[in-house]
Structure 1
Amino acid sequence: MKATIVTIGDEILIGQIVDTNSGFIAKALDKIGVAVHEMISISDDKQHILDTFAKLQNQVDLVIITGGLGPTKDDITKHTFCEYFEDTLVVDATVLAHVTEIIEGFYKRPITQLNKDQALVPSKCIILHNKMGTAPGMWMKKAQTVFISLPGVPYEMKYLVDYEIIPKVVCEYERPYIIHKTILTYGEGESKIAERIEDWENNLPTFIKLAYLPNPGRVRLRLTARGTDKELLEKSIADNVTSLTQIIGDIIVGFDEDDTIEVVLGRLLTQQKKTIATAESCTGGKIAQMLSAVPGASNYFKGSVVSYATETKIKVLGIPEELIQKHSVVSAEVAKAMAISIQKLMQTDYAIATTGNAGPTKGDADAEVGTVFIALATADEVVVHEFNFGQPREKVIDRTVNKSMELLQKEILKFV
């Protein structure tokens, strides 16, 4: 079963907003065995919408459209729906009552004609009740294709997908099983991993596909199995993950989308009842942001000092000015001093400190652009690592964050 997702709105095409709706819808469809064939963003133009509908007709089973269902004149999706399906708009009493309750009951203001027009729907459509807003979803079928129109407001769209569309698709269509398993790795690049697992990859069953999803410092390996025998798919995925772990277990840090490195670290720190703090310069608090984003992080993450300026390193962290003058602000000595200082300040078991020259200019540092020092303090010692992550600036920062997480995880795993 195939689907196409269509987002309507000039604001997307001019870069004013980022389309997050398509990703949410795609994940929801994937979980029930519906393969997304393509994602399209089109303008608020009636002919463009009609041409897109005609192009997709009978090419896919589902077309899910978001956007263009508001009360203003520029929201034309309903009228275009009517034209494509040779239908007319009628007032739906249930939708009108719902809109009236929201406007007069919740917002405590008189309902306008624009509000009432939200209850106008094509006479042939199946209405998808929008509990979170005034614009209903619409389900219409022509020949072999179902067209579903949803509001573009994300929380309204999400409600309709979760509580109206997915249950209806599950009930009405037979679908294959699609099972994913994501393996999160740290410390080696895509090409290096590919070399190590080449024989394993070549021996995967034909119904299992492997995808490499690289980011700076980490690579996700996603296994996808498709078929009608769920038990066979699950067993095969599990067996192949086991054999993969035997090959690259040294760089695997977690599994599935939720097992990010920060989640893994949080789990390890909680299990060992250890704490951590960070002193960040070139990373600007990104390590602290990642660590603190995990629910329950207050149990192990005690805080951070973003000592971006040299003055802050001296006044807040207490780094001796003469140390900085002697070795430069980007140096192993300063990184070590930062780690020791934040560890003492926060009284933690571990501390990470970063100082580097992310560019594009050298600033206060003597080191070449791309040079980074990461210090990791434990109860027994402080180890400093030097890297050159090149350019551009964003790459240097991201790789520093990821490498810091990797170094911390390797240290913690010594005691597992």
Structure 2
Amino acid sequence: MRAEIVTIGDEILIGQIIDTNSAFIAKVLNRIGVEIHQITSIEDDRDHILSTLEEAQKRADIVLITGGLGPTKDDITKKCLCEFLNDSLVENKEVLAHVEELFEKYIDTPISDLNRSQALVPSKAEILKNKYGTAPGMWIQHNDTVYVSMPGVPYEMKGLIEDEVIPRIKNRYNRPVILHKTILTLGMGESAIAEKIEPWEDALPDAIRLAYLPSLGKVRLRLSMRGEDIQEMEAEIEAQISELNNYIGDIIKGIEEENSIEEIIGDILRNKKASLSTAESFTGGRLASLFTEHSGSSGFFKGSVVTYATQSKIDILGISEDLLAKHSVVSEAVACEMAKKVKELYKTDYAIATTGNAGPSKGDSNAEVGTVFLAFATPEKVFAREFNFGNSREKVVGKSVNKSLEILLNAL
């Protein structure tokens, strides 16, 4: 089964917002055996929408559309669908009742005719109930293609996909199994890995595809397979991963679909009944954000301080001015003291601290741009590692975060 995703909105095309909808839809559809053939972003323009709907019909069994379903005049998706399908808008009583209920319960402003117009839908549409907003989703069969139209608001779209769209696809279509296993590696670059695993890669069965996915200090190896028997496929993939361990087992940290690095660390800490805190300078809270975006992180993660300015390291962490003057804010000594102090502050078993020059300017230190110190406090010791990750700020921060996770995981 082939699908195409279409996102509608000038705000995407001018870079005002990032299209996260397509990534989410593609991921969840792939899990149930639906192959994404194309992703397209288009403007809020009648001719562009109509031509896209026509072209998508030639390529896909199902076309998933997000955006352009609001109550204002610039939202024209429903009208374009009607024109394309030779259909007309009719008022749906259930949708109208839902809109009125939302206004009564949650919205202070009075309901207007514009809001009520959300209940106007193509007569051929099967309504998909949007629990979180006023714009309904729509499932429309046209010739051999299904068009699914959803709001562009991410949390509304996600609710419709999970509650309405996926169940319909599962019930109405036979689909192959698409299996992905993504092996997470840390500590070795893409080309070095490729050279080391070349014999294994050359011996892979034709049915298995390998992709390298490098990203700022980590490399993911994705194995993909299509078929009908999930148990046979799982067994084949697991056998290949087991063989891969003979080549690079020292840098394999887990299977990404199962757990991210920070989740693996969290599981280890919970099992140890141990806790973690962070003191971040140039990483600006990125580490803390990674840990706390997962439910259950309060079981091990106790807190973080972002001591970005030098003075905040003195005022909040109690770093000695003499130490800063002697060694500089970007130094092994200061990084270790930050880790030690935040560990004491939150009374944790482990701590991570980051200090460095991410660029483009040097800030309060003469250390070269790209120079970072990552420090770790454990129940037994405090230690730091020095790196230079280049002159791209994004690269320096991203690599530092990933390297911090790698070092802590190895310490655990």
Shift of the 331–224 alpha-carbon distance from structure 1 to 2, 3 Å rule, reads same
CA apart distance, 1:105: 6.3
Give the corresponding residue for 1:40.
40
1:173/1:356 CA distance change after superposition, 3 Å: same
Cα shift readout 1:152-186 (whole Å, capped 9, x = no counterpart): 22232222222222222222221111112122221
1:8-407 correspondence to structure 2 within 5 Å: 8-104=8-104, 107=107, 111-407=111-407
Report the Cα offset of residue 207 of structure 1.
2.0
Name the SS of the counterpart of 2:253 in structure 1: strand
C-alpha distance in 1 between matches for 2:150 and 2:347:
52
Q: 1:88 to 1:244 in 2, by over 3 A?
A: same
What is the distance in 2 between the residues matched to 1:375 and 1:111?
Answer: 56
Using the TM superposition, name which of 47-56 and 281-290 deviates more.
281-290
Do the aligned partners of residues 370 and 130 (structure 1) sit closer, same or farther apart at CA in structure 2, a change above 3 Å counting?
Answer: closer
Letter of the 1:390 partner, please give it: G
The ranges of structure 1 where at least 4 consecutive aligned residues each deviate by more than 6 angstroms after the TM superposition are: none
1:203 Cα offset (Å): 1.9
- Taking the aligned partners of 1:375 and 1:5, their CA distance within structure 2 comes to 44
Q: Is the 8 A contact 1:58 1:144 kept in 2?
A: no
SS state of the match for residue 69, structure 1? coil
How far residue 333 of structure 1 moved from its aligned partner, in angstroms, is 2.2
Note closer, same or farther for the CA distance 1:357–1:83 as it changes in structure 2 (3 Å cut).
same
Stretch of structure 1 that moved more, 326-335 or 384-393: 326-335
Q: Deviations over 1:102-150 (max 9, x none)?
A: 3456658765432333232222233323333332222223332222212
In structure 2, the CA distance between the partners of 1:110 and 1:329, relative to structure 1 (3 Å rule), is closer
Q: 1:208 to 1:128 in 2, by over 3 A?
A: same
Partner of 1:410: 410
Distance 1:333 1:111 in 2: 62
Q: Which moved further from structure 2: 303-312 or 367-376?
A: 303-312
CA RMSD across the alignment: 2.2
Say which SS state the counterpart of residue 57 (structure 1) adopts: helix
Distance in 1, Cα, partners of 2:362 & 2:293: 31
Report the alpha carbon displacement of residue 236 of structure 1 after superposing the two structures with TM. 0.9
Quick one: structure 1 residues 345 and 94, their matched pair in 2 at CA, closer, same or farther if it must change by over 3 Å? closer
Cα gap change, 1:319 to 1:114, in 2 (>3 Å) = closer
Counterpart Cα distance in 2 of 1:393 and 1:108? 44
Residues 357 and 367 in structure 1, CA contact (< 8 A), matched pair in contact too? yes
Closer, same or farther: CA 225–349 of 1 in aligned 2, 3 Å? same
Q: In structure 1, what is the Cα distance between the partners aligned to 2:112 and 2:364?
A: 61
**2: distance between equivalents of 1:345 and 1:148?**
52
Deviation at 1:41, TM superposition (A): 0.8
**Which amino acid in structure 2 is aligned with residue 271 of structure 1?**
N
CA deviations on 1:10-34 (whole Å, 9 max, x unpaired) are: 1221222222221221122111111
3-state SS of paired residue (1:282): coil
1:274 touches 1:349 (CA, 8 Å); kept in 2?
Answer: yes
Which digits, 9 at most, give the CA deviation of each residue in 1:351-400, with x for residues without a partner?
A: 32222111112222121111112222333332221111111112112211
Decide which moves more: 371-380 or 343-352.
Answer: 343-352
8 Å CA contact 1:78–1:121 kept in 2: the answer is yes
Mapped contact 1:266–1:294 kept (Cα < 8 A):
no
The 3 A distance-change label for structure 1 pair 104 and 287 is closer
CA distance in 1, matches of 2:400, 2:294: 20
2: CA distance between counterparts of 1:275 and 1:301?
Answer: 6
Displacement, 1:212? 1.8
Amino acid at match of 2:270: T
Shift of 1:44: 0.9
CA 1:84 to 1:323, structure 2 compared with 1: closer, same or farther past 3 Å? same
- How far did 1:62 drift? 0.9
SS in 2 for 1:338: helix
Once the two structures are overlaid, the 10-residue window that deviates more, 360-369 or 280-289, is 280-289
Instruction: Give the Cα–Cα distance (whole angstroms) in 1 for the partners of residues 347 and 250 of structure 2.
Output: 31
SS of 1:68's equivalent?
coil
| Whole-angstrom CA distance in 1 between matches of 2:280 and 2:133 | 43
Q: Which runs of 5+ in 2 are unaligned?
A: none
What 5-or-longer segments of structure 1 have no aligned partner? Answer: none
1:45 CA drift (Å): 0.8
* TM-score, length-scaled by structure 2: 0.93
- Deviation (angstroms), 1:188: 1.4
Offset, 1:296: 2.9
> Which range moves more in the overlay, 342-351 or 262-271?
342-351
